[in-house]
Structure 1
Amino acid sequence: MTRTRTPGRRARRLLAAVVLAGATTSLLAGCGLQPAAAFVPAAAPGTIKHIDGLPKDAKLTVTSKNFTEQLVLGKISVLAASAAGFDVTDETNVPGSVAVRQLMTSHDADMTYEYTGTAWLTFMGHKQGIPDKTKQWQAVKDEDAGNGLTWLQPAPMNNTYAFAVRKEAVKDLDGITKLSQIADLPADQRTFCVESEFNSRPDGFKPMLAKYGLTLGGSGDGAIPKSNVDILDTGTVYTATDRGTCNFGEVFTTDGRIKSLGLQVLEDDRGFFPAYNVAPVLSSATLKKYPQLQDVYDQISPKLTDAVLQELNRQVDVEGREPADVAFDWMVKEGFITKP
């Protein structure tokens, strides 16, 4: 059984914190915004089985942020817990990372999907992320244990910054597949589209260029004329890159527009960008009470790849489907749940 509601009183009280959160959480807001439908399709067990001996009144509150990818992941969480036999309160679609975080640390919510980089940099206040995915997850897991939260195994999907090129231009750019190869191109081909925040971030565009032996302005082998860089509004970078305004556009690796526009993500082969792998995060007390929840969510995480989230996000942002329906169809396709 699933009970749905709009964000509760505590979440509404936290909305004042959203303004503060906006500057620090805009990375993941690049995945688009969609309202979550209150309706979630009924789910019957598949490979996720009803937990033996689970009390009929076993309750679980699931929360998520309010952008597309989080809405899809939130509905996946709700469907999984419902199939396992929980009476689920669906408190997804909460505005802002800070509000969701406080729901989890106050234990007013039991479960969410969170990003390792967001927790490390935004919530825990560290100045630099850890590019190694496993080390970043372990560091977050260890630190958050003191907050009464348990991070389960992370998914392969890593929703971090990247640069992409339109596929039809790859041949003209010497078959480029890696960021390090930009330095080998003629200066007039080193053209970029970036959003204003990434351009000004201390861990953004200029440090990234330096990591790859490139310099904005100046002269020399790695020089990039400032006229080669277009600073655009968030969201317009994708279409500008697709139209050839620039060769290299700043993107988020799981955004559905990568697939729909036929863009190709370049490998961050020198490991500049922090890891933003998503993982199920549960209240440690809830997990202690219902340890079977680990098996439930550990089934799902390995299937959540960049390509899968690009497709699921695309169905919401491009096709206009409801996140709950997208999540349900994917869960059925993978065999995690079945139609009643």
Structure 2
Amino acid sequence: MRPLIRRRPTPALPAAALSAVLAVTAAGCSLESSGGDADPGSLAEHASLEGASLTVGSKEFTEQLVLCQVTGLALRSVGAEVSEECGLQGSNTTRSALESGDIDMYWEYTGTAWINYLGHTDPIGDPAEQYARAAEQDLSENDVRWLAPAPANNTYAIVALADRAEELGVSTLSEYAALVRQEPSAGSLCVAAEFAGRDDGLPGLQDAYGFEVPDGDLATMAAGAIYEAVAGGDPCAFGEAATTDGRIPALGLTVLEDDEGFFPVYNPALTVRESVYAENPDLAAVFEPIAAALTDAELQDLNAQVDLDGLDPEDVARDWLVAQGFIGG
């Protein structure tokens, strides 16, 4: 059994700091902006949000930017007026925006809520149970409702170039930990700042597997830059990754097996303030089919269209919704 992770409190942002963040323009999507119209499709056959005025938010990485646009377009297709505040910087900022009422909804991940917001130290291995328990606790304690979860699991992972990992004889995190203990420079690691400080990130990973990457072999950079850095071996041979990122297969990277089962399951689901949901119960009917269609393969493809093909998140979201028949073409 892996050791318990010692949880550090997650402070709420002061109102002034949160307002400042909301005023920033994030890469790939403008905050406080309105996306394009969306014609009715299959979603409008089972739900109507005529007269509703809703604000959708997201975190700043590619998958969240795409999901933010998916949400806005879906809502417009069933009659809602929508504004987007996509690209808020970090999980804590986005969660604070939801709880304070600056946004009405955003896609969150079950593992993030269970560990970071709800105060638990160990994840639950069964995805359905983790979702159910997180949803129940978040609703009862924080008035945050979780809509249907997607089957995709955007969990954290450590990746390396496949050829390099084979050369080093590393295919599992236990083998990586042994490499770091024996030859730290060979296990050089790139991480994003948030991963470096999260209980379900690097601190907990090092505790669980019994290793510590020396400061000289640890590089902190923007999450999106890690994939190319690892593929090129500069400045690191290994790096943090998200398993639904399309750059993993495209760049020839391999995911190290989490053989001790450290990383939680991160199924995405739309989280909504309960007061907003109570006024708009058709939100459940709108997003249940969308969530069901978001598999690992679908999210990898959507993410790759932005990160590798250079497409705009709104265009990617619209094309996907039209192809699924959820909105009109």
Fold match by TM threshold 0.5: yes
Q: Map 1:1-340 onto structure 2 (within 5 A).
A: 14=15, 16-17=17-18, 33-36=27-30, 38=33, 40-51=35-46, 54=48, 56-83=50-77, 85-93=78-86, 95-96=88-89, 97-107=91-101, 109-124=103-118, 126=119, 128-132=121-125, 133-146=127-140, 147-169=142-164, 171-172=166-167, 177-182=171-176, 191-195=187-191, 197=193, 198=195, 204-205=201-202, 207-209=204-206, 211-212=208-209, 215-216=211-212, 230-235=217-222, 236-244=225-233, 247-339=237-329
Normalised by the length of structure 1, the TM-score is 0.73
Distance 1:242 1:202 in 2: 26
Cα pair 2:49 2:280 within 8 Å, conserved: no
AA in 2 matched with 1:114: E
Of stretches 180-189 and 231-240 in structure 1, the one that deviates more from structure 2 is: 180-189
Judging changes above 3 Å, is the alpha-carbon distance between structure 1 residues 151 and 165 closer, same or farther for their aligned structure 2 residues? same
AA in 2 matched with 1:233: T
In the TM superposition, what is the alpha-carbon distance from 1:299 to its structure 2 partner? 0.5
Which residue does 2:7 correspond to in 1? Answer: none
Judging changes above 3 Å, is the alpha-carbon distance between structure 1 residues 19 and 90 closer, same or farther for their aligned structure 2 residues? closer
AA in 2 matched with 1:47: S
SS in 1 for 2:148: coil
Normalised by the length of structure 2, the TM-score is 0.75
Judging changes above 3 Å, is the alpha-carbon distance between structure 1 residues 252 and 131 closer, same or farther for their aligned structure 2 residues? farther
Judging changes above 3 Å, is the alpha-carbon distance between structure 1 residues 240 and 61 closer, same or farther for their aligned structure 2 residues? closer
In the TM superposition, what is the alpha-carbon distance from 1:237 to its structure 2 partner? 3.5
In the TM superposition, what is the alpha-carbon distance from 1:325 to its structure 2 partner? 0.8
Unaligned runs of 5+ in 1: 1-12, 21-31, 217-223
AA in 2 matched with 1:231: L
Cα pair 2:51 2:81 within 8 Å, conserved: no
AA in 2 matched with 1:104: L
Of stretches 55-64 and 139-148 in structure 1, the one that deviates more from structure 2 is: 55-64
Query: After superposition, what is the alpha-carbon deviation per residue over 1:4-25, rounded to whole angstroms, capped at 9, x for unaligned?
Result: xxxxxxxxx94504899xxxxx
Higher-Rg structure is 1
SS in 2 for 1:128: coil
SS in 1 for 2:44: coil
AA in 2 matched with 1:260: A
AA in 2 matched with 1:105: E
Query: After superposition, what is the alpha-carbon deviation per residue over 1:184-241, rounded to whole angstroms, capped at 9, x for unaligned?
Result: 88956962423375567665446535534x544xxxxxxx9x59x7311314542332
Distance 1:40 1:151 in 2: 24
In the TM superposition, what is the alpha-carbon distance from 1:273 to its structure 2 partner? 1.6
AA in 2 matched with 1:254: T
SS in 1 for 2:271: strand
Cα pair 2:156 2:242 within 8 Å, conserved: yes
Cα pair 2:115 2:199 within 8 Å, conserved: no
SS in 2 for 1:63: strand
Distance 2:327 2:265 in 1: 30
Distance 1:114 1:315 in 2: 21
Runs of 4+ in 1 over 6 A off after TM superposition: 183-186
Of stretches 326-335 and 159-168 in structure 1, the one that deviates more from structure 2 is: 159-168
Cα pair 1:116 1:275 within 8 Å, conserved: yes
Unaligned runs of 5+ in 2: 1-13
- State the identity %: 37
Equivalenced residues, count: 303
